[in-house]
Amino acid sequence: MTATPPKPLVVTMGDAVGIGPEIIVRAFARGELASAVVAGDVGVLRRAGATMTALIDEPADLAAVPPGCLPVLAVPGLPAGLANLPWGRVDARAGAAAARCIEQAVRWVRTGEAAALVTAPIHKEALAAAGVPYPGHTEMLQALSAAGGGRPPAVRMMLANEELRVVLVTIHVSVRRALELLDFDAVLETLAIAHEAGRGLGIAAPRIAVAGLNPHAGEGGLFGDEEIRFIAPAVQAARGRGIDARGPFAPDTVFMRARRGEFDLVVAMTHDHGLIPVKYLGVEDGVNVTLGLPFVRTSPDHGTAFDIAGRSLADPASLLAALRWARRLASARDTIG
């Protein structure tokens, strides 16, 4: 009996004038895209260094792609002339193309034609210039998951490497706005999502540390009372649900404790509180995972790097890590499901 080949990952090309296409081509050259297809523009990928490409209509066509050819999924509605845009400059056409690739890729994963989604970096200014009403991947994927009239899922960003996994309560908003969004429900919901993420990684009872918002986790209310008013109560409520949540702990030491093995995940209140420790360990190993979606999505832990785009300097290491995490999480989801 012939075994059914695994469904491929679908990789979006990201911003056409950033380093996304280049790191995709380099990952392919290393043999890391053997079970993946790219949603993008053939001309852009050829400019990035792909010597042989095969244009296909759907993920299942990967089986017919000749060896040595980069499989590129035809994405309808892309702007013309993307391969002629100057490297490293914000352009509405590149933003529109990036959004269109994401929309099409989500359709493929939602219909089960692809196993998971891996997204190359996009540029937020280019998205805005194109009139895309989302500040980043996370918010866009959340909205696309509700396409057809459903309720958008509660999603959270997790940045992870082999040493540290951090889940954020708030993401792409100003610090002032983040403080307004933080409350008991937001923290409790994040703890529930983090718990399920840990289980998806094969951890039966994930140990979750909660980083405080204020210096020394508020020092008993001396430096802020958010820990007393809603963070600690949310931790207790989570424990009442069977979630092994602990804290809040001083945010300047809790990440070190997790890295040493005391905790499996850390929940942080704001974007930079949580991401600086992971990125300090090296962006080449970091992976962005969107939790709460009805499909697996990972992404490299870096941006479009306009300053080096088109100069053959981009390192594909973080994309390679994102591909490995996507396969791992998709396999775990299939096992659990």
The count of domains in the chain is 2
Tokens 């790097």, located at residue: 305
Residue 249 tokens read as 């702990």
Q: Are residues 173 and 149 in the same domain?
A: no
DSSP at 130: T
297 and 319 in one domain? yes
Over range 115-122, report the average pLDDT.
96
- Token output for 247: 């804290």
Secondary structure letter of residue 21 according to DSSP: H
Q: Are residues 55 and 148 part of one domain?
A: yes
Handedness of CA 56, 61, 66, 68 (dihedral sign): positive
Q: Does residue 27 lie in a domain region?
A: yes
Sign for the CA dihedral angle at 183, 185, 191, 193 comes to negative
Q: What is the mean pLDDT of the chain?
A: 92
- DSSP at 310: T
Whether 311 and 251 map to the same domain: the answer is no
The owner of tokens 């002339």 is: 81
* Residue 288 placed within a domain: no
> Confidence class of residue 1 from pLDDT cuts 50, 70 and 90?
very low
At 72, is the secondary structure helix, strand, or coil? strand
Average pLDDT over residues 239-258: 96
Q: Residue 250's pLDDT band (boundaries 50, 70, 90)?
A: very high
226 against 5, higher pLDDT: 226
**Is 63 within a domain?**
yes
- CA angle, residues 79, 81, 86, in degrees to nearest 5: 115
Residue listed under structure tokens 């908003």: 173
Check whether residue 5 and residue 120 sit in a common domain: yes
35 and 72 both lie in a single domain = yes
- Residue 116 burial (CB < 10 Å; 0-12/13-18/19+)? buried
As given in the structure block, the two tokens for residue 64 are 């017919």
Question: Which residues lie below 8 Å from residue 251, measured CB to CB, with a gap of 6+?
Answer: 211, 212, 213, 215, 217, 268, 273
Separation between Cα atoms, residue 120 and residue 122, nearest integer Å: 7
Residue 290 is classified by DSSP as E
Identify whether 77 is part of a domain: yes
- Over residues 147-200, the pLDDT tens digits come to 666 788 899 999 998 899 999 999 888 999 999 999 999 999 999 999 999 998
> What is the layout of strands, in order, in the sheet containing 36-40?
53-56, 70-74, 36-40, 9-12, 116-119, 297-300, 287-291, 156-160, 165-168, 265-268, 207-211, 244-249
Residue 4 confidence (pLDDT) above 70: no
The per-residue pLDDT for 36 is: 94
pLDDT of residue 2: 44
Domain around 78:
1-153+293-337
* 112 and 239 within one domain: no
- CA distances (Å), origin 121, targets 169, 180, 230, 256, 298: 22, 28, 35, 28, 11
- What backbone torsions phi and psi does residue 196 show, to the nearest 5 degrees? -65, -35
Q: Does residue 334 surpass a pLDDT of 70?
A: no
User: How many angstroms from the chain centroid is the CA of residue 181?
Assistant: 21
Q: Write down the pLDDT at residue 6.
A: 79
| CA distance from start to end of the chain | 24
Q: Looking at the domain assignment, is residue 287 inside a domain?
A: no
Backbone angles phi, psi at 102, to 5 degrees: -65, -45
pLDDT digits (tens, 9 = 90+) for 44-100: 999 999 999 999 999 999 999 999 999 999 899 999 999 999 999 999 999 999 999
Identify whether residues 327 and 197 lie together within a single domain.
no
Element (H, E) at 298: strand 297-300
Residue 282 has pLDDT above 80, yes or no: no
Task: Pull the structure tokens for residue 115.
Answer: 């196993």
The answer as to whether 11 is a domain residue is yes
| Nearest in space to 157 (alpha carbons), one of 258, 282, 298 | 298
User: Mean of the pLDDT values across residues 282-300?
Assistant: 89
What is the percent of the chain where pLDDT is above 70? Answer: 96
Clarify whether residues 53 and 131 are in a common domain.
yes
179 with 134, same domain: the answer is: no
Torsional sign, CA 22, 104, 112, 292: positive
Residues 193 and 246 both lie in one domain: yes
Determine, yes or no, domain membership for 235: yes
Query: pLDDT-derived band of residue 217, with 50, 70 and 90 as boundaries?
Result: confident
Residues 140 and 181 in one domain: no
User: What is the structure's pLDDT at 281?
Assistant: 85
Residue 337 has pLDDT above 50, yes or no: no
Query: pLDDT band for position 293 (50/70/90)?
Result: very high
- End-of-domain residue from the set 251, 281, 311: 281
Q: What is the CATH number of the domain that holds 194?
A: 3.40.718.10
Residue 153, SS3? Answer: coil
In a domain, 286, yes or no: no
CB 48 within 8 A of CB 25: yes
